[in-house]
A and B are shown apart, each in its own frame.
Chain A
Amino acid sequence: MKVYNAYDDAALVLLIVALQAGVTNILALVTIIEAVTSALPTLAETGGTVTTDGTEQNIYINANPLGEFNPICVTINCTNQTAGETIVIREYLDNAPGGAGLILVDEVTYVGVVASPMIIIDLDPNRYGVAVTIERTGGVARAYPWDVHYEI
């Protein structure tokens, strides 16, 4: 460890200048680290319950993402569905800026009691919009809890 002469003003000024340069370098490194960590995708989740009303209803929608993101899956709990209900689940994507909007990707119909009542719909990376909807085409209103996981 170097010992400084407290009465050597010139040496102390040089030391302060060196310290300031060091602090500047540290701040620059912190900024770089912050930029890297801020860029890491965050796995997040949200959800709710949709009670069917006979129209096509959004379960999960991100109609205009901030940018490229990674919706991973939507889960839908069909425990409340009885032999009398029929539902149609649809997935939509938008793949162009200012384009045609959400376009149908796939649809699946579930009639009556769903044998494995937790449905999982895998989603793909997306930049311009994604939606999963539910439509009751038979039976009465039922509540369907759902959630979605995405990296953003």
Chain B
Amino acid sequence: MARTFYDSLGLNEDIELDLSMLEATGELLHDESRNHSMATMHTALATPLWLQTSEGHFGIYLNRINPILDMDQYYDIPAADCTELNFTTTDYSLAIWFYWNTTDETSQVVMGKYVVSDRGWEVYLTEIGALRYMSVRHHHAAGASLRTASYSLGWAFNEWHLFSYSKIGTTGYHYRDGEPITTVSDVLIDPEPTIGDDWRLGCRFTEDSNWWKARFHRPRVWSRGLTADEHRLLYRLGYP
């Protein structure tokens, strides 16, 4: 019987993290990339809420709205298990399906491996007035500036979208649902190394604020810049 192999799919070339979320239960997310970088949920309140999406896939409802208590939920991969996400001079790409619920916190960290104004890379959502930003930021204590970033606008509440991104050279390129969108990008300075830092999804690097209040599905990371066709393929291969 004909079959394809995960690692021979062009899209999976140089993939470094692929939390496919097939578990549909529990606190662990397993990685389909060859790195086996398992992510663990941390929570101050309640257990992970797995939700089945309209297309049948499973996602996590992170920090769902609780009028009384903060849930402080996030995922973490220990530094020793995510050294491949330590991007400095190389190009890289990111992708995640998400359904943003609220700006209960003005700035919400989607994922990152970083220390602010010092090292690493970070993805975050912000609402300022009526504008909703998705930003990808580099931190570099030894750079000419402590932070350089790219951002895109038009990210709506209560809708599933695929955010994907490629850093190619000194420019960041944002995509929504597989299509390129207007991206305002600084001349990106390479991030400082983050060998000793965890990868986190859903909170600030200090694990105490900027909680992401959203549903999400299948975060992925590549150590190369994806082409525009590959970003489009990401969307076509899987509405959550």
Contact = CB atoms under 8 A, between A and B. Distances in A.
Given A64-B24, A64-B58, A46 B5 contact: no
Contacts of B3: 40-43, 151
Interface stretch (B28-36, B149-157, B206-214): B28-36
B46 interface: no
A20 interface: no
Contacts of B52: 64
Interface in B189-240: 237
Contacts of B4: 37, 40-43
Interface stretch (A1-9, A55-63, A107-115): A55-63
Given A48-B28, A62-B23, A63-B25, A42 B38 contact: no
Contacts of B20: 44, 46
Contacts of A45: 6, 32
Interface in A55-99: 58, 61-67
Contacts of A62: 22-24
B56 interface: yes
A44 B9 CA distance: 11
A43 B38 CA distance: 19
B2 interface: yes
Given A42-B3, A66-B57, A151-B3, A48 B23 contact: no
B32 A66 contact: no
Contacts of A116: none
Contacts of B28: 48, 58
Q: A-B pairs with the 4 shortest C-beta distances?
A: A64-B24, A63-B24, A44-B6, A46-B30
